[in-house]
Each structure stands twice: as structure tokens, then as C-alpha cells.
Amino acid sequence: MFIPLLRSFQSSRRLFYKKDYYSILGISRSASESEIKKAYFSLAKKYHPDVNKNPDAKEKFAEINLAYETLGELEKRRAYDSTGMTADEQDQAKNSGFNPSSNFNPFTNFTASEFNFKDIFNEFDSFFTGHEDHETINFKGDDIFLVLEISFIEAVKGTQKNIKFERKSLCSTCNGTKIKPGTNPIKCSSCGGKGHIQMQMGPILMQTICNKCKGKGSIFKTHCISCRGIGMENKDCDEVVNIPPGIDNGQSLRMVKKGHNASGMQGDLLVKIVIAQHPIFHREGQDIHSDVFITIPQAALGAFLEVETIHGKTKVNVEPGMNSGDQKRIPGFGIQYLPPNQNKRGDHVITFKIKVPKKLTDEQKKLYEQLAQIEYNNISDHNPNKFKTFYK
């Protein structure tokens, strides 16, 4: 990827056109210095040619660079606000016979001093790291994705799990240098140890990473035997995963810098949680639901029952006249919220289901017939024989 090093230049016939640097950075004219800087670094990272493969990215990046160079310094910003041009452009305009303080506010082709791209990415976790007199790109290692199954109770109450997995790490023999220990790298003859090659394209000096040394500035002839010159090796790893109370099915936990290694920068370890089904309980949001079976007399007359919850057994009052499908909440017996609301809990919701006996003893049958007789005493011409026939 070519990286343009923008240098000041003039054409013999220059036209001046005004551009709104504030619009280029997406900020208002009253933006503070920190707001200007924040907007610039965000856009510069987005449109940097090493990151953005769009063919228009280089031109956009140069435009963003010039906008920040103008608005990032107080004196230059004041000059631009009053004339619509940078200080250099004002000088160029005067040399061309144009008065920048007139009513016409011009803007010319871009001019900028050489720019160190390292400044951009230092704001974003040091995307670039220096190496002698050239820049070397460090890449973050890949993330590792694992799936971990836990029980329903473990998800509700939280737990710790030890997991084993394989991780790419720097070679323990060469420490990632890829060369045999005791040997020294040789300066690259193509780039002279700079890691990049420059070439002139019209008024713009272009810079590209050296193909021979891949931007390292040096080459080596004796590869590390252990990693075969890769610089990496697979290692068996153990990590303890702290699972917070209240985690839900399908949520992932991110363990920073526990992933694969690359150029000394580790990726992350992401553990997706899968929760096994429970034979009694199921989850709906922060509430726990369960079914409780009651008898016909309990439903009709009411009762005090002992029911199972994730926090142990507790007594519940069944009001008289309870129907199948009616629900009752036990406040605070549900699932703990995740931080920052970990002091809150949902409820335990009980759904009552009336259990009808499939077999009756003679005494039970007689009592149910008596109940039926009372309930339907005025039905079927007061003929009790019909009830006896029905309940045989």
C-alpha cells in the first residue's frame, strides 16, 4: 500500500478554491481543540491507506490531514477563519497577485509538510511501533472463540470454570524473531534498512513497504528450527473463567489479551456461554418460572405449600378458588442482574396446575359423588340416579 508523503509544491498557474475544513472534519466552527483532535484521529484512522482499501481513501486522507494541520494550531486556525486559506496559501495567493483579505475567500490545492503516520495510531493502542529509523506495523493476534456449557444453577449463582485450549504464542526458542538464536539479521539491501521504499510520482513523494524485507528493514538467512521461521508456536493453555451471577444463555465473556499472539500483541479470548436446561426451572428475563401442582381440595379451599426455589425451599400461600394456570410471584427470588445493577433481582413466578386424580378409592369416589350431588342438586329433574350412573 502506497503512503503519500505530502510536500509543498506550486504550479505556475494556480487557481484558488475555498473548502470548508470544518465540514471535512465533521465539526462545528465553535469546536474546541480537543474536539478537533478527536475528530481528526477518528477520520485519519478510518481513511488511512493501510487500513482503507477504497481507491479514494488516499485523497480523503490527504484532505483530512490538511484540515487538521490548519485547524489544529490556534494561529493557523485564526488565519483560516478570517481568509478561508492557510498561511501558506495566503503567501501563494499574494505571489499570484491575489489579495486574501478581499471578499473572495479562496482555497488552493493541498500543501502539507511531511507527516508521521505513527501519530495517528498512537491514539489507537499503538497501531504502529517504531523500529530504528523506519516504521514497522504490528498486528494484533486473532481472537479465540470457545463455547462453554454450564448448568442452570451455575448461571444463576455464578461460578468459576477452568478451560483448556490451544493458543498461538511467540516461539519460545527464538521469541518471535524467526531466526536461529545466536545469529544476527542482515540489513536489507533493497531499502537500506528503512523498511520502506520511496518513489516520486509527479509532485507527490510516495512511500511503500519494502517487498524484500516486508517492512522489517532486515532479513535473515538462518531460520529458527523450532518454529521453522514462522516465529509462532501452538501452546496448550489453561485459563480460569469467572462467570458472573445472572449470565444468560448465548452471552459471551471477553478475556482481554488471552487470545492468539502476533508480533507481541495478543488478541482476546471470547467464551460463549451455553446453559443446560433445568428439569424444574426455566428463565424469562430476570424471572425464574416453575410449575406447582395442587389438588382439587387445595385449589378450592386454599393451602400453605412448601415450594422449591433456586434459593432453597419457601412457603407459599395458595388462596381459595385457585384455578389451573393462575400465577403467584415470590419477590426477590429470581435472577441477579449483571453489573452495575447487581443489587437487584427478579422474581420467582409460580404457575399453579390442578392435578386431577386418575384413580379414586371408594371413599374418595363417594365424597366426590356427594359433592357432585350438592353442586348439581337442581339439575336433571332432581334425579340422583343420573349422577350415580355418571360417576360409575
Q: Which of 211, 244, 277 is the last residue of a domain?
A: 277
Residues 292, 270: one domain?
A: no
Whether the pLDDT of residue 348 is over 90: the answer is yes
Backbone angles phi, psi at 325, to 5 degrees: 100, -15
Query: Which residues touch 390 (CB under 8 Å, ≥6 apart)?
Result: 372
285 and 341, same structural domain? yes
Statement: residue 29 has pLDDT above 80:
yes
Q: What is the pLDDT of residue 229?
A: 84
Q: Are residues 252 and 349 in the same domain?
A: no
CATH number, residue 34: 1.10.287.110
Looking at the structure, tell me whether residues 254 and 204 fall in a common domain. no
Q: How confident is the model at residue 234 (pLDDT cuts 50, 70, 90)?
A: very high
Those residues with Cβ within 8 angstroms of residue 354's Cβ, 6 or more apart along the chain or in another chain:
293, 294, 295, 296, 299, 322, 323, 324
- If you compute the radius of gyration of the chain from its CA atoms, what whole number of angstroms results? 38
In angstroms, the CA 175 to CA 227 distance is 10
What is the spatial distance between Cα 132 and Cα 282, in angstroms, rounded to a whole number?
Answer: 60
Q: Is residue 41 part of a domain?
A: yes
**What pLDDT is attached to residue 9?**
36
CATH number at residue 360: 2.60.260.20
- The pLDDT-based confidence of 6 (bands split at 50, 70, 90) is very low
Are both 291 and 170 inside the same structural domain?
no
169 and 188 in a single domain? The answer is: no
Answer whether residue 57 shows pLDDT above 70.
Answer: yes
Q: What is the mean pLDDT of the chain?
A: 79
Answer whether residue 240 is part of any domain.
yes
User: Do the domain assignments include residue 109?
Assistant: no
Q: Distance (Å, rounded) from C-alpha 256 to C-alpha 270?
A: 9
User: Are 45 and 73 within one domain?
Assistant: yes
Would you list the DSSP string of 245-287? TT--TT-EEEETT-S-EETTEE--EEEEEEEPP-SS-EEETTE
- pLDDT exceeding 70 applies to what percent of the chain? 75
Residue 385 resides in a domain: no
Rounded Cα gap, residues 296 and 294, in angstroms: 7
- Side chain identity at 224, as an amino acid letter? C
pLDDT number for residue 91: 57
CA distance 267 to 236: 16
- Residue with the larger pLDDT of the pair 284 and 75: 284
| pLDDT of res. 12 | 34
Reported as a single tens digit per residue, the pLDDT across 149-190 is: 999 999 999 999 999 999 999 899 988 888 888 888 888 988
Say how far apart CA 319 and CA 342 lie, in whole Å: 33
Q: Is residue 45 part of a domain?
A: yes
Segment of 45-49, 192-196, 385-389 carrying the highest mean pLDDT: 192-196
Could you list the residue range(s) of the whole structural domain that residue 242 is in? 138-178+229-277
Residue 359 sits in the same domain as residue 309: yes
Residue that wins the pLDDT comparison between 222 and 337: 337
Indicate whether 149 and 195 sit together in one domain: no
What pLDDT is recorded for position 336?
94
The residue among 242 and 41 whose pLDDT is bigger is 242
- Lowest pLDDT segment from 63-77, 153-167, 198-212: 198-212
Query: Is a pLDDT exceeding 80 seen at residue 126?
Result: no
| Pure H helices in the chain | 21-25, 33-47, 57-71, 74-83, 87-95, 118-122, 152-157, 296-301, 362-375, 384-390
Give the 3-state secondary structure percentages of the chain, helix then strand then coil, rounded to 5: 25, 30, 45
Closest CA to 290 of 335, 321, 250, 260: 335
Same domain, 78 and 196: no
Together in a domain, 314 and 211: no
> How many domains does the chain divide into?
4
Q: Please indicate, yes or no, if residue 147 is contained in any of the structural domains.
A: yes
Confirm whether 132 is domain-assigned: no
- Burial code (b: 16+ CB inside 10 Å, e: under 16) for 232-266 equals bbeeeeebebebebbbeeebebebeebbbbbbebb
Q: Is there a single domain that holds both residue 173 and residue 266?
A: yes
Pull the grid cell for residue 380: 336433571
In a domain, 297, yes or no: yes
